Amino acid sequence: MDLPVNPPVAPMLAKPVNAIPSGDYVFEPKWDGFRSIIFRDGDEVEIGSRNERPMTRYFPELVAAIRAQLPARCVIDGEIVVPDAEGSRLDFEALQLRIHPAASRVELLARQTPARFVAFDLLALGSAGYLEQPFGGRRAALQRVFAGVGPPLHLTPATTDRAVAQRWFGQFEGAGLDGLIAKQAAGPYEPDRRVMFKVKHERTADCVVAGYRTHKSGEDAIGSLLLGLYTDEGKLASVGVVGAFPLARRKELFAELQPLVMGFAGHPWNWAEHMAGQRTPRAAAVSRWNADKDLSFVPLRPQRVVEVRYDHMEGPRFRHTTQFVRWRPDRDPRSCTYAQLEEPVSFDLGEVLGGRHG
């Protein structure tokens, strides 16, 4: 490729803040997908990822759309997302499944769960580089690029009105988005620097600790605690993990939890008896992302309750690793149910992608 900005490029990043900032900012929804930079030079198309590795082969339907609709020479920053079967909200799990080594599987998934690309920044157009231009100018040029572009390529909504951004923050979560991004209107594009701001939803939940995995430092330290919530049917569902502890605390936790260690017989996640149709920590003994990563765990009697901080759910599980808040010895483990979780107000993804959001 011979572009003003050539691959690989590390995308500009965001740092978390607790509130929507005031000032000369442009606000956008925070998309929950794969951060990607598109490079097009004639028929050559490359889709770079956040870690600067190409993802082009996994999304042939996007490559075809890029060739058909985008300018012959351009570099555009954005996010690859996959809607659910109804097209009403994002499905990150379906997006993860799109990364598959077999070409035949890639082609099948491109038809079954087609992806979308949501653009939110312009790095180059024609023979002109845009990195040094203020974001306001980059956004205006990107709007012109997307004036005649249609699905599966989209331009993200943007506003300079903080009140509108606040409304989006509440509404768009119902479509599977996970917060807001704030960009300085006068700021240049700074690869691999955390110069944007992100505001995410933050909630807490009381969960049952039903197992642990050991830490990479040794078998006498906790790597992560496995969390569960009880369903309406009284079954303990696997909902995620909490794992950010200082090393000394990891070793203390290991010693504290040893009296609760049990065998799989009689455990709620007895994979030998209950694996069929269940998503449990033993549903796959090896991660599909890293064949060397062991996903087995040490079962614990489900007697301890921990309060964790989370941002949002992906189906029945926490979308991201949770953060430890405190132990809850006052809580009965059986009282830790899905009913405590705040449900976002439903909002249709099509309205966000189509600009029908007020």
CATH number at residue 186: 3.30.470.30
In terms of DSSP H, where are the helices of 194-262?
247-257
Boundary of a domain, candidates 200, 234, 256: 200
Cα angle for residues 354, 357, 358 (degrees, 5° grid): 130
The beta strands (E) that lie in 160-202 are given as 180-184, 194-199
Contact 34, 79 (CB under 8 A): yes
Identify whether 352 is part of a domain: no
Contact 39, 48 (CB under 8 A): yes
Identify whether 355 is part of a domain: no
| pLDDT for the residue numbered 271 | 62
Give the closest residue to 178 by CA, choosing from 79, 288, 59: 79
The total number of structural domains that make up the chain: 2
Print the domain residue range for 316.
203-340
pLDDT tens sequence across 264-303: 888 998 863 444 334 445 444 434 334 444 457 889 999 9
3-state secondary structure of 333: helix
Residues 280 and 211 in one domain: yes
Residues 149 and 222 in one domain: no
3-state secondary structure of 147: helix
Q: What percent of the chain has pLDDT over 70?
A: 91
Q: How far is it, in rounded angstroms, from Cα 321 to Cα 139?
A: 33
Sheet holding 298-310, edge to edge: 236-242, 218-230, 203-215, 298-310, 323-327
Residues 32 and 141 in one domain: yes
Task: Give the mean model confidence (pLDDT) for residues 140-156.
Answer: 96
CATH number at residue 264: 2.40.50.140
Residues 41 and 176 in one domain: yes
Per the model's pLDDT, the better-predicted residue between 290 and 192 turns out to be 192
Q: What's the whole-number average pLDDT of the chain?
A: 88
Identify whether 241 is part of a domain: yes
| pLDDT for the residue numbered 285 | 40
pLDDT tens sequence across 207-232: 999 999 999 888 899 999 999 999 99
Ranges 152-161, 246-255, 347-356: which has the least confidence: 347-356
Q: How far is it, in rounded angstroms, from Cα 197 to Cα 184?
A: 9
Which of the residue ranges 98-102, 267-271, 353-357 has the most confident prediction, judged by mean pLDDT? 98-102
Residues 105 and 226 in one domain: no
Contact 297, 210 (CB under 8 A): no
Identify whether 166 is part of a domain: yes
Identify whether 1 is part of a domain: no
| pLDDT for the residue numbered 257 | 95
Residues 20 and 126 in one domain: yes
Contact 122, 74 (CB under 8 A): yes
Binned at pLDDT 50, 70 and 90, residue 121 comes out as: very high
pLDDT tens sequence across 14-64: 998 989 999 999 999 999 899 999 999 999 999 998 777 789 999 999 999
Q: How far is it, in rounded angstroms, from Cα 124 to Cα 126?
A: 7
Identify whether 351 is part of a domain: no
| pLDDT for the residue numbered 288 | 39
Identify whether 347 is part of a domain: no
| pLDDT for the residue numbered 217 | 87
Per the model's pLDDT, the better-predicted residue between 154 and 216 turns out to be 154
Identify whether 80 is part of a domain: yes
Residues 112 and 214 in one domain: no
Residues 177 and 211 in one domain: no
Residues 124 and 38 in one domain: yes
Please indicate whether residue 235 is annotated as part of the active site.
Answer: no
Q: How far is it, in rounded angstroms, from Cα 212 to Cα 250?
A: 11
Give the closest residue to 176 by CA, choosing from 354, 348, 351, 357: 348
Task: Enter the tokens of residue 64.
Answer: 């075809």
What are the phi and psi torsion angles at 215 (to 5°)? Answer: -85, 155
Task: Give the mean model confidence (pLDDT) for residues 98-117.
Answer: 95
Contact 9, 163 (CB under 8 A): no
Residues 250 and 109 in one domain: no
From the candidates 15, 30, 198, 293, which is the catalytic residue? Answer: 30
Number of Cα atoms under 13 Å in the Cβ half of residue 327: 8
C-alpha dist (Å) from residue 18 to 15, 168, 267, 284: 10, 16, 39, 36
| pLDDT for the residue numbered 146 | 96
Residues 64 and 168 in one domain: yes
69 has a pLDDT exceeding 60? yes
Residues 61 and 192 in one domain: yes
